[in-house]
Structures are given as structure tokens and as C-alpha cells.
Structure 1
Amino acid sequence: MKHSLQIISPFLLLTHFSCTSQLDSQPMEPFLEKPQELHGDEPEVVPDEIDEVIESTVEKPRTEPPPPIGTEKDEINESLEQGIPLEINAEVQRWIEVFTGSHRDMFQRYLNRGERFKPMIITTLRDQGVPTELYYLAMIESGFSTHAYSHAKALGLWQFIAGTGKRYGLRIDRYVDERRDPIRATISASMYLNDLNNVFDSWYLAMAAYNAGELRILRAIMKAKTRDFWQLARGNYLPDETMNYIPKFLAALTIGSNPEKYGFTIEPATDIPPLVSVKVPSPVKLDQIAKLSGVSLKELKENNPHIRRNMTPPGLKEYRLWVPEYERAQVLAVQDGLKTHRLKISSSQRKVARRYHRVRRGETLASISRRYGLTIRQLKARNGLRSNRIYAGSRLIIRDSKSTERYRVRRGDNLNLIARKFNTSVRNIKRLNNLKSTRIYAGQILKVRPRG
């Protein structure tokens, strides 16, 4: 079923991923991707949305393991039943031969490494309404390494470049780089891929855009006058790395779906406990958390590879860290003690929700909107601005009782639930979004205006 996406336009989607990974010492030619330039500033997702997904889906109690990849057969999303078409042609067969031949050892390492993340990734993909086969896209991107880094500065499990990571709700600054957080990055990647599929109505083209950039794929479609990926590839309308990107993914999916057939044996990750999040006061040092709670500082750092300066980020009252489930109670028990160890920070480092902002020298609408989790369009609308020009000393309205917010529909939502959440009415939500019925879809963006 095609989603009703209200904010995505191919002409406005100007960010992308770069997919070059540097993981192991041996040659990585089959996984190398050409970097692209970055465009666009306005965020599609803000960090609070990522936290909401963690609370509502990632940490939801589950009585059964997630279904095997590609076997979803329920009411979550009819498009999941179709999944991603598995085509075996000459291009795909060539990569199967590479992965089972000259790069067999490397592919085996990736299969084993992915077992640690597999339950989390496929559950997150499923809950966000995208096919779980995309698990193998993370393999192609990074080999399931949280520290994978490219010369184009793409980073982490899903190889976000900084601009796209921020645009899809990841915090990236001198204190944290959530591209290295497997859970947060998987949520962001799911949202981005979902948006791309809504734009192109094709998972092959969505993945191609993930690799090469949305505008490049759009130009190729317009030039070739076809939306068939294989025709675009065989007609040389796509970059070389993108022409190989889908065949590599399909080859990985084919082998991963039946590893024994190709002579692979996957080692289960039995010694790694599942992680859960725990909110701690911020900013505090990790060694202080370890000292008061009794958890291992080494494990705390290993489970939170996105923490860059041995401390939780300033500008937030609380921040989620990942710990094994059996250590959660220990950290929760020292909350009050940790509050007394908050680090003092300068006012310039604080990032708080406030009604007004006084423009300082060097600031732009883009930097101010990012600071408060708004889009440039929202900021201009609230202040009646016709251009992007602002002046130091002027005061901008950040929040008011009439401000319109955006909400991304999640699995299980309905208009009544959303209306109660924002203290508004179903009628108002329908009017703001030009809805003729109460039917909504996971991943859809709704405008909401809370009552004052």
C-alpha cells in the first residue's frame, strides 16, 4: 500500500548517505562507494522523535523473537508482505560469486558480526514499517561495524554523513556522535529509507537514492524516462557504484537467507546481553556513573560508542545511555547522587526550549532552527520573515501558543490518540492536514497545533 507522505518532495530531498567503508585491513573493493556532496539544512526528524521511538517500540516488552527476515504477514503494513523483490540475474550472480569466492572470509566475518545487532535491527525496521530485508543494507554499508568510517566522513553502522544524520534526528557534536549508536542510527535509517520509498515508490530506487542521492536518481529517471532500476543501470544512467549497489545487496540477501547452501556457518552471539536504555542526569562523566553505580566503566564505554568526551552531552537535563538489562536497576538507584555531579557549563552551551531567541553575530536561520528542533520554514512563518536575512540583536519567536508542530505517525497510532497527546481535537488535525477520513499510515507526517 502506498503511504500518504505530506512533506517529502524529490525536489526538496537534498541529502544523502555516502557508503564507503574502511573496516578491515584486506582490500574492500566490492564495498567501496563513491562519495557525494551534501545539500540541505532543514531537519525531517528531531532528536526527541528518536527518543519517542525508543520508548514506544524499541523497549516495548516482547514475548517472542522477531519473525525471520522477509516473512512479515500481519496487519502492520501491507507493503511489508511484498517485501523487496529478490531477483537473481547476471549482475547479482557475479556478486554472489565474489562473496563466496575471493571475499568469502570477509563475508563470513560480516555474517558473524551482524548477529549481535540482528534482533534489534530487524525489529526496528519492522516497527518502522520497512522491509526487514534491509538488514543486509547495513552489511553492505559498514559490515556491521559501529566504527566504520569513510574518506567522505560517513560513519557508523548505516554510514550517515553528518548532514543527513542531523536531518534525521541524530545528535552530532563535540560530545556525542549518534551515528555510532547502533540503535538510534537504525531508527534514523529506517525513517530515511521509508521516506525514500514514499518518494520513488520502489525499494530498488529508494536504495539507489540512499547510495547516490535523491536528485541524482531523479535526474536519471527523467533522462531515461523509466523508473525501472535495471533499465537505468544497463543504460548507464547511474554511477558505477550505484549500478553495483543493488546487485551487491541482493547477493548478500540471497546468501544470508540460506547461508548453509553457500557453505557459511553463522556463529550466534550468545554471550552478548540485550541492551536497554536508562536516563541519567546530564551532563555527567561516565566514570562518575560507573563509580556510583558499580557498573564497569569499560563496558559502559563499549555499549555507548557514540559518547566522544567521556561525558553525557550538555544542554539536556537527561540523556539515554545503553546498559545491559541486569545493570539498569543499579544505574537508576543512583539518579539523585548523579544530579549532584552535574558538570557546570557555560550558558552558550545550553540548549533549552524557550519562547524567544536573541540573534547573535554569526547566527543564521539554519543554525537557530537546528538548535530548537525547528525547520527554517517554521521559524520564518512564526516571525513573518520573507527572506533568510536576520540581524544580530533582533528577537525571534521560537514557540507560541499558535505554533504548528509536526508528528510522525507510528505503528498503532490513530487520530484520537494523537489528538489527546497534543491536547487538540481530531477535527483540528484533519483540517490542518486536509484529511478527508481518519485513516493514517505509519511514517506519515501530520501537522498538529496544541491548544494554548
Structure 2
Amino acid sequence: MTMNFKKITVIAFAFILAFLAAPLAAQQSVNTVIPDSLNPANDPVYQQYLKRLDSLYAAWINLRLPLVQYQDTSIAFKRDTNIVELPDSIFVQRLAAIPSAIELTYNKQVRSYLDLYTKTRKKQVSIMLGLADYYFPMIESKLDAYDLPLELKYLPIIESALDPRARSKVGAQGMWQFMLGTAKLYKLKVNSFIDERLDPVRSTEVACAYLKELYSIFGDWHMVIAAYNCGPGNMKKAIQRSGGKTNYWDVYYYLPRETRGFVPAFIAATYIMNYSQNHGFYAVQPNIPIIADTILISQEMHLAQISEVLGVPMGTLEYLNPKYRKKIIPAAGGPYDLSLPADKVSIFITMQDSIQRYKQNVYLAKNNLDKQPAVRTTAKPVKPSGDDVAVSYTVKSGDNLGYIAAWFGVGISSIRDWNGMSGSSLRSGQKLTIYVPKSSVEDLKEINDLTFAEKQSRVGKENGTGQAEEPVVAASKSDTNFVYYTVRSGDNLWTIAQKYPGVSHEDIMKLNQMPSSRLQAGQVLKIKRKEG
């Protein structure tokens, strides 16, 4: 009996020595991990994180407090003035006592974030404690399903302060702060109506898959947490720049500045969520239903319809269904899930059709899929006054109103009026009514049967531009072997050469010392006559 007592005494004494020595050993080993002469409180990385936390908190307060009322907050902050400065050894001891698969290092960087949570940002911490009661059970179940350390549930605290609608300046969204590219890569649905980055359940599933893949690459949870923030590509570069080091603290200064504080902040968040009451924190509980249920619906529905019919506060519905960007559950691509307070689910199922019809024209855009373009209105044909007679002209390919008006000696606007035209578009085969003097009817009727060149010739025009041919400038008597041609718009060397038998476009270029075949309207070309 005495022997057993002595053994127990020795074992107990050894245990006490080990317990007391562990914090000191941890303190010594940690303090030599990363030499740092800077005061972390003055570190720009720390200051950047501080601003980010304030920004997230302010955005969250502005968005949420008008929608969701919180229970009595007075007890949460009653000890704000009783801030006790704890020695490093207490923090080391407490961190060592947290059962964690992720190493909870202690150093100056970690201490600066611990001071942030325990001293200067107590209100934010109390609200996050309340949100943790709501979200952590779901997050833990997903982490467990992926066989990941449950301590990773603290990661969204530093990413978004547990706000499912958080948005960063660079566009990352949701509790897990996914960029659009990463969301698409992991098949999160993002469109004008739905953003699954804002869905706590779907985004948590994707975060678990992403974290598991990062661990398969880096094999160290500190490296994984940092890579989650800066991306695996940047982490790979940091490893290369460090000479192949694979410990987070060894690559610390090779990481992007905004990522360096990520692991220290994670460790501090883990600490404060485990020792909140030791620092006088109490959770501020949002008045949202802890017990909710989800049903699938295929009808288009606005959250306001559900809110008004079921008597559920709009803020509660938005909180339970943050992924619906316009507060509308779309019909296309469904069915979609709808989260409701558990006691409202059976009522919703009974009244679903009535809810969908309630103020439908107010909350839902009308379906325009079966709409047809308005009937096109055209001007009514206007007959001219006087004794003019109508003749018919059939539009040919290449015609336009300018040509036709010139051939018949009338105005373009008159042709439009006579034929009820609002524009100048023509189609081949279209019949036009044109009014001409009686004395000209027989002469103008034959225009319908003439070729384009013949019609142009009748009005003194030979080209297809509606412009009269410009005369060729004859050579002087002393230079009878040459003629001079003035270039018109649309001309090219080949068409000009065709006007002069035996002349090629190369002849024209050579004679006029042209470096290229480019022509300019108004340019005068010298052309040598050739005997036929």
C-alpha cells in the first residue's frame, strides 16, 4: 500500500513538473522560431488586419442590425473596463491545453492578435460568439465528413467574422470569402439571382474540399491556412524563394504582406473562442431561429411574399437564405432550397400556391417569354394632287432610291410618300408606284426594261455611283501621245486601265512613278496612248 502511494506521488510530481515545464519550453522554442525586432502592434500587416476587422464589423452592423434584433447586449460588454494584462506564460499554457490537430504556436505576432481580440475588439468578439452558436454545428459536421481538423471552423472568423454576406474590396464573398474564379472552379452556382458563395452550407462544403486538396499539396496546416488566403500559387513561390522551406514561420517573410498575419490571427481566434469567458465575454445571440428546416420549391417566389403571408420577419428570411441576391427564388434551373423556421414549414407547404400568387404583380416581374413585337406601323401612301399618272417600277438588285428618283426625275421623299415608306430600304422585286406627267408616261415606262447602264446613260451618268463621269483631260497638242485621267472615288488602277486599250495597270504605275497601287480621289494620272 505504501509502495503504491509512493509511486502515485512520484508520478503526480513528475506530471506537475512536466506541466510547469511545458509552457516554458514552448515559450523558448517559439520565441526562437522567428526573429523579429519589430513591435507587432506597429506592423503594417497587423494594422491592415485591424482595419479589415473594423470594416467587416461595420458592414455587418449596417446590414444586419436593422434586420435582426439582438438579445440584451449589456452583459456582453459589462467587463470592458476590467482589462487585465496577462503574462505570456498564461497564453502559452492555455494554448497548449486546447486539443488541436493544428499547432497553436505562440510568439509576438500571435500576441498582437490576442491583444486585438481580448482588449480592443470585444464587441465584435461577443457578436461572433453568438454567430458561432448558430453556424459552428453545421461547419463541424462538414469538417467531420471530410475528415478535417474541427479547429478549421475558426477560419471563417478571420475571413468574414462569420458573416455569410461579407464582401471584400477585391470581390471575395461569403463566409469563406471565395473569389468568383474559385467558386466556378468548384461548381458553386453564381448568376444574377443566386450566389452560392453566400450559402453557408454550400460554401462550407466547397471550403472543406478546397482545404483537403491544399493539405494534399503542402502537408502542413499552417501552410494550408496561409495558402487558403493567398492561393497555392503564391505559397509555392514563397517556398521557392525561401530555398525550399516547408515550415510556415520559415517562409513568413516570403509571403504576401496581407497573408503574414493570417496564421497568427487564426491562432488568436482559436484562443478567444475557447477562453472567451475568462476575458469576460458572453455571446450576443441574434434572434433568429436556431431550429430551421429546408424544403425544395420549383416556383418563382419573392421572400417578401413568404414574409407577409407567414408572418416571418424579412430579416430572418434573408438571414436563413442569404444566397438569393435579389430576394427572389427563381423558377429556372430549380428546384431550389428554402430555409424556414421549423414551425413554419408545414404552414408553408399547405399555403404554397397561395403564397406564390400573393401580390405577384408587385414582387415578381411579369413573364415576357410569350410576348411578340408590337405591330409595325407604316405610313399611308399619299397620292399627289394634279394630273400626274402612276407608273410601276420593279426594284432590281443594286438599285437605291437615289438612282430611281434620278431616272424618273422625281424626289426621294416623294417616292417614300407615294409608297408609304418610313425609310430608304428596298428589296429586289419590290413594286414601287411613281407619279409622272402624262406627257412622259410612255417614255418613262420603258425604264423598267432597261439595264442599269442604260438607265444611267439616260441621265448622263455611266458609272454605278450616281455621279456623272468626269471628263478625261486631253493632252496638249505638243504631247499628243498622252492623256491625263482624274481619279474618282471608287476607281482602281485595273478599272482605269480597262478604259484604254493596250494599257495595263503596271504601265500606269511605272509611268507615274507610283510606289504602290493606292489612289486618291482627284489625283491626275498620266496615261500613254497605244495604237490599237
Q: Structure 1 residues 271, 153: CA separation in 2 closer, same or farther (over 3 Å shift)?
A: closer
1:140 aligns with: 158
How far apart in 1 are the matches of 2:216 and 2:103? 17
Contact 1:294–1:330, Cα closer than 8 Å, also in 2: no
- Counterpart amino acid of residue 302 in structure 1: Y
**Corresponding position of 2:297:** 280
Shift of 1:285: 3.4
2:56 alignment counterpart: 23
Call closer, same or farther: CA 1:346–1:201 in 2, change over 3 Å: farther
In the other structure, the counterpart of 1:229 is: 248
Q: What is the aligned counterpart of 1:160 among 178, 191, 194? A: 178
Aligned to 1:249: 266
Q: Which has the higher helix share?
A: 2
Q: Secondary structure at the match of 1:320?
A: strand
Of 305, 316, 326, 2:322 maps to: 305
CA distance in structure 2 between the partners assigned to 1:97 and 1:121 by the alignment: 26
Structure 2 stretches lacking a partner, 5+ long: 1-48, 60-95, 371-532
Structure-1 residue corresponding to 2:281:
264
Q: Deviations over 1:16-53 (max 9, x none)?
A: xxx96632349xxxxxxxxxxxxxxxxxxxxxxxxxxx
Partner of 2:377: none
Q: Which has the larger radius of gyration?
A: 2
Q: Which amino acid letter does the alignment assign opposite residue 217 of structure 1?
A: M
Gaps (5+ residues) in structure 1? 1-18, 27-69, 73-80, 348-452
Query: Residue 301 of structure 2 aligns to a residue in which SS?
Result: coil
Distance 1:284 1:221, change over 3 A: same
Listed as ranges, the matches of 1:25-174 within 5 Å are 25=58, 83-174=101-192
> Structure 1 residues 210 and 135 mapped into 2: Cα distance closer, same or farther (>3 Å)?
same
Instruction: Please state whether the residue corresponding to 2:263 is helix, strand or coil.
Output: helix
Q: CA deviation at 1:269?
A: 5.8
State the match for 1:333 in structure 2. Answer: 350
- Give the partner amino acid of 1:86: L
Cα distance in structure 2, aligned partners of 1:270 and 1:301 = 13
2:209 counterpart letter in structure 1: M
Note closer, same or farther for the CA distance 1:172–1:331 as it changes in structure 2 (3 Å cut): same
Q: Partner of 1:176: helix, strand, or coil?
A: coil
State the match for 1:185 in structure 2. Answer: 203
Counterpart of 1:327 in structure 2: which amino acid?
K
Query: Which residue type is aligned with residue 310 of structure 1?
Result: K
Kept after mapping to 2: 8 A contact 1:279/1:319: yes
Q: Distance in 1 between matches of 2:304 and 2:112?
A: 50
Measured on the aligned residues, the alpha-carbon RMSD in Å equals 3.2
> Quick one: structure 1 residues 333 and 198, their matched pair in 2 at CA, closer, same or farther if it must change by over 3 Å?
farther
Distance 2:138 2:200 in 1: 9
Residues in 2 aligned to 1:141 and 1:121: alpha-carbon distance in whole angstroms = 14
Task: Tell which deviates more after alignment, 168-177 or 268-277.
Answer: 268-277
One-letter identity of the residue aligned with 1:245: F
Contact 2:143 2:149 in 1 (8 A): yes
Q: 1:407-418 counterparts in 2 under 5 A?
A: none
CA distance in 2: counterparts of 1:337 and 1:143, whole angstroms: 38
Separation in structure 2 between the aligned mates of residue 300 and residue 271 of structure 1, nearest angstrom = 9
Give the C-alpha shift of residue 337 in structure 1: 6.4
3-state SS, counterpart of residue 231 of structure 1: coil
Structure 1 distance, partners of 2:332, 2:97, is 43
TM-score, normalised via structure 1 length: 0.54
Conserved 8 A contact 1:281-1:339: no
Structure with larger RCO (C-alpha < 8 A, sep 6+)? 1
